[in-house]
Structure 1
Amino acid sequence: MTMSGSDPNWKDLSPAGREAAEKAFEMLSHYDGLTRAMQDDGRDVALTFADIYRYATDPLADLDHDQRRALARDPKLQDALERLLSKNVVYQFPRVAAASSGTVNEREGDGFRIKLKESRADADQVYVILMLDDHVEDLPVALMVKGEDGSYLKLPLPEIDGGTAQMLEASDSAIVQALRDVKTELYLL
């Protein structure tokens, strides 16, 4: 790194400025050491709290493959996401009742219903239909699922018209498979 004429010079810093610079350097060195150690352990460092926050609050934000892997393997990151979701969720569908097993094509909750319906035009496609009761005030903008393995998937919702949002998805897509799985938790954000 080169210093230009307008950048502060060490000899021009006050004692307090030098102390602050030393502390910043120590913290950055410590962070670099932790990052190298995590990489040497084979752990992912590709996911930050800012990424988690954006994923929990922005319906269009998504995680890449490495970030999903990091999230699935790190309970602390999962806890951070769970805390953010609990503050931003419009509604959470718990897992389907314990008596159920296998797969479902419909989930119901207080004021919400999600239905999976095969397309008549193409058997390889499924409509994901979200229906809201009239008393629902906060309209969700995204649907998120959490698998039993700690993995998350998100689907931005189209505009809700007349209390209904409808999306066409491939029947073998990860989101459709997750919605059918009785062990999956579902969030409306």
Structure 2
Amino acid sequence: MSLDVAPEYLKFYLSPATPRPTCTITLANPHAKPVIYKMLTTCAAQYAVMPNVEVIPPGEKIEATVSMAPGPGKDDPSFYSNRRDKFKIVSAFITPGLKWDRLDRQKIWTLMQSYPDTNFHAQYMRCYHLHPPTLEEQQAEIDALKAELAKVKEENEQLRQALSLTRRPTSYSSWGEAIPSYDQVVHGSPKW
């Protein structure tokens, strides 16, 4: 039993322009039963998860937002260089008969922990702190994409020319005039 989680890891882009970087996680329940999950982290003071406890109905998905908490020293890039923060998503099927749509999510989680036959499943996510790309890196990526686009346009033109060769008339009338093909008549290539 597990949830479908996307993405597989969290990436926070650190910059002075975004004092509180956030990531969005999509949690999907592919099962025929409702699932409750709780999201835990190795550094609870560093991150805020909304919602950190939630019930996902069968076949549905929700989005959880993970935000970094602002604080002293967090503007310094070396603060994040050696961090090994991880997230753990613990999930379980809702016990049959539990009226989960009427109870507080935290209370449901407490009840689920008290049941001896509850099977919990854990999934782990790594967390990466990245610095935004420099202007030079962005320009290099733009140049590479432009070169790839030019190559695709050239291949398209070659395919278009090859296709036009196949649409040429192959029959001739008794007077020696070309009889247009069906494609040429339908698409209006030559007028006769």
TM-score by length of 2: 0.24
Q: Which has the higher strand share?
A: 2
Q: Which has the higher helix share?
A: 1
TM-score by length of 1: 0.25
Structure with higher Rg: it is 2
